[in-house]
Amino acid sequence: MNSDDINPNDPGINPLAVLHFQDRFTRELPADPETDNHRRQVHSACYSLVTPKTAANPALVAFSAEQAADIGLSPKDCESSQFLHVFAGNQLLPGMVPHAMCYGGHQFGHWAGQLGDGRAINLGEVEDIHGQLQMLQLKGAGETPYSRMADGLAVLRSSVREFLCSEAMFHLGIPTTRALSLITSGEQVVRDMFYDGRPQAEPGAIVCRVAPTFLRFGNYELFNARGDIDNLRKLVDYTIRHHFPHLGVPCKQTYLDWFKEVCERTADLVVHWMRVGFVHGVFNTDNTSITGLTIDYGPYGWIDNYDPDWTPNTTDATNKRYRFGHQPQIAQWNLLQLGNAIYPLINDVEPLQQILTDYVETYTQKWQQMRAGKLGLSSYQREADDDLNQQLQKILLLAETDMTIFYRKLADVSCEASASTLGDDDLFAPLMPAYYAPDALSKEDKKDICDWLRRYQQRVRQEGTSDAERKIRMNQINPKYVLRNYLAQQAIDKAHDGDYSLIHELLEVMRRPYDEQPQFEHYAAKRPDWARHKPGCSMLSCSS
């Protein structure tokens, strides 16, 4: 069925009539003149027109009620047949202009040339309840000119991870693309999960992603790499006009102000990742959002035992370029590539270099305030707190320490004057659940931890904050629930058996990650030992 088959004025036939699609991107920017959908290099264009592949037997797995409400849809709307077929790619609504974006990027530090939306198809923009336009995009709805050797499809495994993590990150307060729906296609898709020559057929699925824009650094890099400065300028001007309108009319100074704000938003984003222990896993420039959103949930992971050198990406296992502790530096490297891309619009290296230098100070200040917040402190006092945090880093590495549980339980350690006489065992007791092998902690380890705890108590008392007030503060920034890899994998395993109940339950749990939710206590537990080396729990690839 196409848009001509739908009567937009009949709510019985068209429960999605509230969605009024438009598309500034395709209206204002240059299109690929070739409309045949075959793999090719696309020049002098920001996008190619494509049509989603028809799903053979789509079925709704889940939808985000909050994201649906934001664009004016009720749960009943989301359970309708039309919703199913539209967001499986089988129907087009009036105003939709399906297209795939053209972009390039640096992957693992190397220029990869043209990449583009290989399995993502933008449907168009709709206005949300806040008056902001949101782009709706199908991931896994078929091939595009940018699919290269792939099929443009997605499997249920990776789609469950994207759907759940998008919404989990949103409720954690982290800038992110959203997920409206998760739908199975009714077809099998062949994937070699670890690129080891053992491909398997898996259930296919489509996720509808939502964001103000899916523009990433690579969109700008490709025009610069090809020497297409006219279209580079058009794209930058479009971006400022629609996504940074407060900066004013595009000109040299506006371009610099824009670059500075992109740097600041990127710093904010990475500070949030570090706050909750999230590792993107493939933080390439083509996976770096121009508006500071977490974008493209592939081989991501959550820190279980604290390890700054951990990466969830098997492709990155040797060099660990995208390891947890290296994400701030990678963000700066990616920003450098964006600065190089827009240099022809400015032709002055000094202000660009200064903005990149300022990023380090900007990130450091944001990181310090975040660290103070995680400890329940009202401010970061460099003289005292630099060493306090350095020592904290050391004690987190003494033994396998669950980062999420450690910070959550630290709020239960009393810091009031009456606690100054506690012995080591009583002082340490609240933190015991954070250790994977508490009996293996040596006397020296426990002494080092307790020494740090006493310094921490003294620092808190300097601020005069009560235990009750500090706990409220800490529990608002340190989540109890995060989407640990093993939880997502359990949901995937059940889904492969046709049981979607855990997807729904995890979606519910992750809606309130800072609340106690005693009925879901088991989802706040440490990673079980069986998950330590299980595929999908600790080992993920770009196919994940």
Indicate whether 453 pLDDT > 50: yes
Q: Would you say how long the chain is, in residues? A: 544
Cβ neighbours of residue 395 under 8 Å, at least 6 residues apart? 401, 448, 449, 452
Indicate whether 381 pLDDT > 70: yes
DSSP-assigned beta bridge partners for residue 182: 62, 207
According to DSSP, the β-strands at 278-279 and 200-211 are unpaired
How much is the mean pLDDT over the chain?
95
Domain boundary among 214, 229, 258: 214
Domain-embedded: residue 129 = yes
Number of structural domains the chain divides into: 3
- pLDDT one-digit tens code per residue, 227-256: 999 999 999 999 999 999 999 999 999 999
Measured between alpha carbons, how far is 425 from 64 in angstroms, rounded to an integer?
Answer: 45
Indicate whether 544 pLDDT > 60: no
Domain boundary among 176, 197, 214: 214
CB atoms near residue 200 (< 10 Å): 11
**Backbone dihedral angles phi then psi of residue 59, each to the nearest 5 degrees:** -145, 135
Burial of 130 (0-12, 13-18, 19+ CB in 10 A): exposed
Average pLDDT over residues 116-135: 98
Residues 299 and 424 in one domain: no
Element (H, E) at 107: strand 104-107
Indicate whether 261 pLDDT > 90: yes
pLDDT computed for residue 4 by the predictor: 44
- pLDDT one-digit tens code per residue, 479-503: 999 999 999 999 999 999 999 999 9
Checking 82-86 for CB contacts under 8 A at 24+ apart, the result is 82/6, 82/13, 82/14, 82/15, 82/16, 83/15, 83/16, 83/181, 84/58, 84/59, 84/60, 84/183, 85/1, 85/58, 86/16
Q: What is the dihedral of CA 66, 68, 69, 74, to 10 degrees?
A: -120
DSSP label at 197?
Answer: S
Residues 253 and 306 in one domain: yes
Domain boundary among 448, 477, 506: 477
Indicate whether 165 pLDDT > 50: yes
Residue type, 522: H
Cβ atoms of 69 and 63 within 8 Å: the answer is: no
Residues 136 and 16 in one domain: yes
Q: Can you tell me which residue has the tokens 């006219």?
A: 230
Domain-embedded: residue 528 = no
pLDDT computed for residue 196 by the predictor: 75
According to DSSP, the β-strands at 301-302 and 278-279 are antiparallel
Residues 114 and 224 in one domain: no
Measured between alpha carbons, how far is 298 from 283 in angstroms, rounded to an integer?
Answer: 10
Indicate whether 383 pLDDT > 60: yes
pLDDT computed for residue 246 by the predictor: 98
Domain-embedded: residue 523 = no
Active site residues: 286
Measured between alpha carbons, how far is 136 from 351 in angstroms, rounded to an integer?
Answer: 36
Domain-embedded: residue 365 = no
Report CA-CA distances (Å) from 179 to 286, 395, 511.
Answer: 19, 38, 13
Tokens of 428: 């340490």
Domain of 392 in residue numbering reads as: 382-477
Residues 244 and 386 in one domain: no
Domain-embedded: residue 539 = no
Whose CA is closest to 83, among 100, 67, 99, 97? 67
Q: What does the DSSP assignment read for 293-350?
A: -B---SS-EE-SB--TT--SBGGGTTT-TT-GGGHHHHHHHHHHHHHHHHHHHH--HH
Q: Is 139 left (phi over 0), alpha (psi -120 to 50) or beta?
A: beta
- pLDDT one-digit tens code per residue, 62-99: 999 999 999 999 999 999 999 999 999 999 999 999 99
- Percentage of the chain with pLDDT > 70? 97
DSSP-assigned beta bridge partners for residue 112: none
Residues 195 and 257 in one domain: no
Residues 143 and 196 in one domain: yes
pLDDT band at 12 (very low <50, low <70, confident <90, very high): low
Residues 421 and 440 in one domain: yes
Residues 75 and 88 in one domain: yes
- C-alpha 313 chain-centroid distance: 15
Domain-embedded: residue 177 = yes
Cβ atoms of 207 and 163 within 8 Å: the answer is: yes
Tokens of 131: 């008056």
Residues 33 and 179 in one domain: yes
pLDDT computed for residue 533 by the predictor: 84
Residues 186 and 42 in one domain: yes
Indicate whether 3 pLDDT > 90: no
Burial of 303 (0-12, 13-18, 19+ CB in 10 A): buried
pLDDT computed for residue 543 by the predictor: 62
Indicate whether 11 pLDDT > 60: no
Domain-embedded: residue 506 = no
Measured between alpha carbons, how far is 48 from 219 in angstroms, rounded to an integer?
Answer: 13
What is the radius of gyration, based on Cα positions, of the chain?
24
**Backbone dihedral angles phi then psi of residue 252, each to the nearest 5 degrees:** -55, -50
Tell me if residue 137 falls in helix, strand or coil.
strand
Cβ atoms of 334 and 217 within 8 Å: the answer is: yes
Tokens of 491: 């949901």
Cβ atoms of 223 and 338 within 8 Å: the answer is: no
Residues 408 and 354 in one domain: no
Tell me if residue 409 falls in helix, strand or coil.
helix
Domain-embedded: residue 530 = no
